């Protein structure tokens, strides 16, 4: 059985680390180590980690605040496993996660898995999870399905052979889009990636509506920035949120001139409500998903358009917004 090194960067989230580590104590696998990298937090996770030292093979290290990419690289430099696995601190790991990885991950160099909402998540978390995974929103271009865009593993749930990671020198020091940049470099260097659909995690996103908008706004910016680093990676599907954003506001203006067409603006909301209610099997998250889905489309779309104008038309350099902490 291969040895896995699980690397988790954390910034001011001791409660999340507690929940994640607890989930790891219940997995049906034992040959792994856990490396927690505290990225300049003022809310330390050290006491939480010490509480699991007898239950897990765990290392806790700290560094000055440098962002998630350098934190993951630091963790990787301490790893002793053959395969590195990166999780975000707001994830919970199912008991059979490693069984699926061991079963499928044999012919590739890197894999990624999707995310789901746990039944214990609150209403907003369930609605955001729907919006982040649905094919009706930008979730459809995040790599969760094989038939939409080329699959790029994301760092909330990504595994890679350590030798490949070392050869690529890990993640770049980008505040946003560093995992897409990494996945693109993996493929550009001839390594094989794969999606393991059964190797999913519960992703307990900590957003409110404001922080969610900031996050997806930066994701839209990052997509344009990444196309300069990796030309040709933007496809028609990446333009869809921007087209939706422009189309929505044009339709609003037209509805003032032709009031009878205004009701058509309700169609996306109705689709989100029906689809989210079916997917979550709950009505209230279905209604909240109307808000989160519009937030995601408008956020990603406006970030994408802003970056397109600044970088292509005004010839500005690479940039991102909300750099410090979009969770505030």
pLDDT at 142: 55
Q: Looking at 23-27, 266-270, 292-296, 314-318, which range is the least confident one?
A: 314-318
pLDDT at 122: 93
Cite the DSSP H helix spans in the chain: 14-24, 46-50, 68-77, 97-104, 123-133, 162-168, 178-188, 209-229, 236-257, 266-280, 283-308
Helix-helix angle 266-280:283-308, to 10 degrees: 120
Q: In what order do the strands lie in the sheet with 115-116?
A: 91-92, 201-203, 115-116
pTM of the full structure? 0.91
- Would you state the structure tokens that stand for residue 219, as one six-digit string? 């994701």
Q: Which CATH superfamily is domain 4-120+150-206 in?
A: Spore Coat Polysaccharide Biosynthesis Protein SpsA; Chain A (3.90.550.10)
pLDDT at 91: 96
The residues with which 34 forms a beta bridge, in sequence order, are 6, 58
d(CA 111, CA 197): 10
Q: Residue ranges of the domains in the chain?
A: 4-120+150-206
Q: What is the mean pLDDT of residues 243-271?
A: 94
Indicate if the pLDDT at residue 146 is higher than 60: no
Tokens 């300069």 correspond to what residue? 228
- Would you state the structure tokens that stand for residue 94, as one six-digit string? 């199912």
pLDDT at 139: 64
pLDDT at 278: 96
DSSP reduced 3-state for 304:
helix
Show Cβ contacts of residue 12 under 8 Å, excluding neighbours closer than 6 positions: 41, 42, 43
DSSP reduced 3-state for 172:
coil
Indicate if the pLDDT at residue 326 is higher than 50: no
Show Cβ contacts of residue 327 under 8 Å, excluding neighbours closer than 6 positions: 206, 207, 211
- C-beta of residue 273 within 8 angstroms of C-beta of residue 286: yes
pLDDT per residue as tens digits for the range 180-221: 999 999 999 999 999 999 999 999 887 789 999 999 999 999
Indicate if the pLDDT at residue 176 is higher than 90: no
- Would you state the structure tokens that stand for residue 87, as one six-digit string? 């999780």
pLDDT band at residue 222 under the 50/70/90 scheme: very high
C-alpha to C-alpha distances, 252 to 47, 171, 242, 293, nearest whole angstrom: 53, 42, 16, 18
pLDDT band at residue 112 under the 50/70/90 scheme: very high
Residue 187 CA, chain-centre distance (Å), reads: 19
Average pLDDT of the residues of the chain: 92
pLDDT band at residue 327 under the 50/70/90 scheme: very low
- Highest average pLDDT, of 70-84, 168-182, 247-261, comes from 70-84
Residue 181 CA, chain-centre distance (Å), reads: 13
DSSP reduced 3-state for 59:
strand
Q: How would you classify the pairing of strands 115-116 and 91-92?
A: unpaired
Indicate if the pLDDT at residue 143 is higher than 50: no
* CA atoms in the 13 A half-sphere facing the CB of 137: 29
d(CA 4, CA 22): 17
pLDDT per residue as tens digits for the range 94-111: 999 999 999 999 889 999
Q: How would you classify the pairing of strands 115-116 and 83-87?
A: unpaired
Tokens 């790891």 correspond to what residue? 24
């Amino acid at each position: 059985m291969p040895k896995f090194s699980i690397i988790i960067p954390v910034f001011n989230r001791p409660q999340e680390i507690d929940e994640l580590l607890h989930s790891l104590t219940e997995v049906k696998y034992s040959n792994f180590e856990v490396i927690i990298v505290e990225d300049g937090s003022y809310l330390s996770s050290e006491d939480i980690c010490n509480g699991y030292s007898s239950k897990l093979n765990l290392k806790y290290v700290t560094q000055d605040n440098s962002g998630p990419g350098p934190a993951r690289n630091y963790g990787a430099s301490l790893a002793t496993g053959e395969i590195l696995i990166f999780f975000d601190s707001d994830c919970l790991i199912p008991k059979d996660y490693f069984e699926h990885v061991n079963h499928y991950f044999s012919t590739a160099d890197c894999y990624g898995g999707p995310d789901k909402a746990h039944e214990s998540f609150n209403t907003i978390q369930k609605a955001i999870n729907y919006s982040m995974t649905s094919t009706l929103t930008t979730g459809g271009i995040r790599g969760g399905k094989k038939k939409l865009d080329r699959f790029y593993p994301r760092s909330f749930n990504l595994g890679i052979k350590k030798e490949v990671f070392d050869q690529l020198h890990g993640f770049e020091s980008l505040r946003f889009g560093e995992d897409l940049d990494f996945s693109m470099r993996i493929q550009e260097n001839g390594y094989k990636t794969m999606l393991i659909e059964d190797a999913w995690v519960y992703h307990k996103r900590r957003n409110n509506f404001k922080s969610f908008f900031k996050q997806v706004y930066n994701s839209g910016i990052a997509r344009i920035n990444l196309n300069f680093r990796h030309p040709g990676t933007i496809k028609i599907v990446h333009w869809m949120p921007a087209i939706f954003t422009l189309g929505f506001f044009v339709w609003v203006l037209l509805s003032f001139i032709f009031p009878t067409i205004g009701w058509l603006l309700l169609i996306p909301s109705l689709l989100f409500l029906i689809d989210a209610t079916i997917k979550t099997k709950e009505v209230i998250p279905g209604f909240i998903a109307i808000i989160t889905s519009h937030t995601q489309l408008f956020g990603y779309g406006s970030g994408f358009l802003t970056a397109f104008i600044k970088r292509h038309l005004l010839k500005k350099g690479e940039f991102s917004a909300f750099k410090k902490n979009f969770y505030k």
